[in-house]
Structure 1
Amino acid sequence: MSQYSKLNRIFTQVFGMFFGVAIAVWVLRGFGIPILTAIPGGVIWLLLLLAIGMGIMAYVQKTWWRF
């Protein structure tokens, strides 16, 4: 396995982690769970933006950095 495919797997796993946590927090916050209602909306947006950034990095690494 090449170094680039390992890096791509890490980017993809981090993307899934950030995206999954952001969606879970958003849904559970909507249900009114007391601990999660204290989390500001900016934190959820930050998690989503990090997920999008990791997804873009995984795509770029997979398509452009093959030398």
Structure 2
Amino acid sequence: MNQYSLNRKLIQSVGILLGLGIAFWILRGLGILTFIPGGVIWLLLFGAIGIGVFSYLQRRWWRF
């Protein structure tokens, strides 16, 4: 797996996690998905931020 393929997959995972987190947050606020705990939504959002930072660092400091 080369650098661009890995970075593309990381960016796609950021988008997916961020999209799910925002969608769950909105649907929970509307009262549709009330059974999802707030901690799960925060984990999705913080996971997206963490993967985004890792993707940036991986692209910036790629040595091979």
TM-score by length of 2: 0.92
1:64 corresponds in structure 2 to 61
Q: How does 1:1-67 map to 2 (within 5 A)?
A: 3-33=2-32, 36-67=33-64
Matched positions, count:
64
Root-mean-square deviation (CA, aligned residues, Å) is 1.2
Percent of residue pairs identical: 56
SS of structure 1 residue aligned to 2:12: helix
- In the alignment, structure 1 segments of 5+ residues that lack a partner are none
Q: What displacement does 1:62 show?
A: 1.1
SS of structure 2 residue aligned to 1:58: helix
